[in-house]
Amino acid sequence: MPLKTKAEYIESLKGLNLKVYALGERIENPVDHPLFKPHVNCAAMTYQLAHEPEYEDLMAATSHLTGKKVNRFTHIHQGTEDLVKKVKMLRMIAQQTGSCFQRCVGLDALNALYTVTYEVDQNHGTHYHQRLKKYLEYVQENDLMCAGAMTDPKGHRGKKPSQQEDPDLYVHVVEERDDGIVVRGAKAHQTGIVNSHEMIVMPTIALGEADADYALSFAIPTDAPGVIHIFGRQTNDTRRLEGGEMDQGNDEFALVGGEALTILDDVFVPWERVFMYREYDFAGLLVERFASYHRQNYGGCKGGVSDVIIGAVTAMAEYNGVAGASHIKDKVAEMTHLTETLYCGSIACSAEGRPTASGAYFVDPLLANITKQNVTRHIYEICRLAHDIAGGFIATLPSEKDLKSKEVGKYVEKYFRGVASVPTEHRFRMARLIENMTGGTALAESMHGAGSPQAQKIMILRRGNLQHKKALAERLAGIRRDRD
Ligand code: SF4
Ligand code: FE
């Protein structure tokens, strides 16, 4: 049965020979390193929960290729029910981790490529879809974690890839061989890549003929020769290196995905792993499909994260002795309203999904983009309300070491207590959870993850059917009766 356990996943990562750099140093064993361990633990939940009978319906699916039971993170959506289950799965995992479990990006890349390779083949007489299916079978059979690699560094944002002064600012082909291609460039913000087995590369924007060298999609192992990962910093990340457990807020699962800049320094890709090669006319479609699948997710995962934040401030209000205050209740109701609004969007774009020519189901792209646009706003408001309810001490709290100090611990204990019935340590821990879940990197991720707000606005306008709406208004205003 191709379902890895948590232990098998972690063990399999140890077999990789990744070139990872963090804080200026090469990290020989990222799996056990305190900087990476919480991210590994979080992704590992996507394996662990698939073995728990309670979650099996959400976490596992039947492969349409082999008929075998596979992890849903490797499954191609066969109907709207699959799309809805994906969202429910994401919310459930986020509720248990309070964080980003990273594996959705590869899932979305597989689904987007599944639909687009089929259409490329129909138009160009190529054979990418068959290749992709073979690769998918390999991923399902080995229950691999794939990183989805879309975002290029982009350089001058006003110029196309081929117009850049440095041609490597978008991933491009530098050599074509009988057995494959050699690629160069980098992918930015690569969620979960240092604990993924594979990376699936796609273009980041719609492309024209002059940019055909950049119209590439392919899969490579994350430890392929020439691949280098430089891990990004996160708010409070070095608290993980201090040896305590409370100051990180959520020491088991981290707070965001763990992103890296991944360099492709002349990496060889065999033909059987190439899924788009110079078909520039389909680059835009691939971007739109991937982005919409990924934007579908955000009311699920951020909904689950927000559930934890709502729970944290509800507890904190009790610890502070203000749970009964009407303004607290009103703010918690507001946070709940915003959270469920996010979730509604994700469910709606899934329920309104449609089959593509390949047979795989695609979300309603307008509703998916609306969902992500809401996330860029509502999460900030949810976090603002969380800060309001929790109180200013989440920004001034001393360290865990002070709480445990022989000399001053008794003062921290005494003066950071809320109601007498709740130990100071509980209030301390909850404050740290709120501090870390509602600030810094976690907020910026909600803004820019799955694409910045302006990228959604472009798709919203493209899909908004303004001419139809204009005709509706003109007809009712008596300006155009020709539609009667
Ligand atoms: Fe998945 Fe959400 Fe993380 Fe994106 S931000 S990888 S959708 S958990
Ligand atoms: Fe993300």
- Residue 443 burial (CB < 10 Å; 0-12/13-18/19+)? middle
In a domain, 42, yes or no: no
Helix (H) or strand (E) holding 411: helix 409-415
Asked whether residue 363 carries a pLDDT value surpassing 80, the answer given is yes
Decide whether any atom of ligand 1 lies within 6 Å of the 191 Cβ: yes
Q: For residue 255, what pLDDT is reported?
A: 86
CA angle 357, 143, 139 (to 5 degrees): 45
Residue closest via CA to ligand 1's atom 6 equals 102
Give the pTM. 0.97
Decide whether any atom of ligand 1 lies within 6 Å of the 170 Cβ: no
Residue closest via CA to ligand 1's atom 1 equals 104
In a domain, 5, yes or no: no
Q: For residue 211, what pLDDT is reported?
A: 98
In a domain, 311, yes or no: yes
Asked whether residue 484 carries a pLDDT value surpassing 90, the answer given is no
The SS3 assignment for 110 reads helix
Alpha carbon distance 174, 167 (integer Å): 10
Tokens for 433?
């959870």
**CATH number of the domain within which 320 lies:** 1.20.140.10
- Strand intervals (E) in 271-326: 274-277
Taking residues 42-70, report their average pLDDT.
98
Taking residues 204-212, report their average pLDDT.
98
Q: Residue 456 carries which side chain, given as an amino acid letter? A: Q
Decide whether any atom of ligand 1 lies within 6 Å of the 97 Cβ: no
Higher pLDDT, 483 or 15: 15
Q: 109 CA to middle of ligand 2, Å?
A: 13
Taking residues 262-266, report their average pLDDT.
98
Residue closest via CA to ligand 1's atom 3 equals 100
Asked whether residue 483 carries a pLDDT value surpassing 70, the answer given is no
Decide whether any atom of ligand 1 lies within 6 Å of the 366 Cβ: no
Residue closest via CA to ligand 1's atom 8 equals 100
Residue 1 neighbours by CB under 8 Å, 6+ apart: 68, 69
Q: Judge contact between 353 and 347, C-beta under 8 A.
A: no
Tokens for 212?
């055909």
In a domain, 326, yes or no: yes
β 198-201/216-221 pair status = antiparallel
| 303: confidence class by pLDDT, cuts 50, 70, 90 | very high
Residue closest via CA to ligand 1's atom 7 equals 297
Q: For residue 2, what pLDDT is reported?
A: 84
Largest CA distance in the chain: 85
Tokens for 151?
């975002």
Alpha carbon distance 90, 380 (integer Å): 20
Nearest to 400 by CA among 208, 263, 251: 251
Name the phi and psi angles at 214, rounded to 5: -100, -5
Ligand minimally distant from the alpha carbon of residue 94 = 1
Alpha carbon distance 231, 223 (integer Å): 15
Asked whether residue 122 carries a pLDDT value surpassing 70, the answer given is yes
Q: For residue 405, what pLDDT is reported?
A: 98
Taking residues 337-347, report their average pLDDT.
98
Asked whether residue 482 carries a pLDDT value surpassing 70, the answer given is no
Catalytic positions, written as ranges? 100, 104, 191, 259, 294, 298, 301, 445
In a domain, 371, yes or no: yes
Window from 174-178, 430-434, 442-446 with minimum mean pLDDT: 442-446
Decide whether any atom of ligand 1 lies within 6 Å of the 371 Cβ: no
Ligand 1 atom closest to the CA of 449, numbered from 1: 5
Tokens for 189?
């913000």
Q: For residue 481, what pLDDT is reported?
A: 67
In a domain, 145, yes or no: no
Asked whether residue 1 carries a pLDDT value surpassing 90, the answer given is no
| 480: confidence class by pLDDT, cuts 50, 70, 90 | confident
Report how far apart the first and last C-alpha atoms of the chain are (Å, whole number): 60
The mean of the pLDDT values for the chain is 97
Asked whether residue 283 carries a pLDDT value surpassing 60, the answer given is yes
Alpha carbon distance 148, 287 (integer Å): 12
**Percent of all residues in the chain with a pLDDT value above 90, rounded to a whole number:** 97
Taking residues 112-139, report their average pLDDT.
98
The domain of 360 spans 293-476
- Taking only the tens place, the pLDDT of each residue in 451-469 is 999 999 999 999 999 999 9
In a domain, 232, yes or no: no
In a domain, 226, yes or no: no
User: How many structural domains does the chain have?
Assistant: 1
Decide whether any atom of ligand 1 lies within 6 Å of the 105 Cβ: yes
Ligand 1 atom closest to the CA of 103, numbered from 1: 6
Q: 101 CA to middle of ligand 1, Å?
A: 6
Decide whether any atom of ligand 1 lies within 6 Å of the 148 Cβ: no
Alpha carbon distance 96, 110 (integer Å): 25
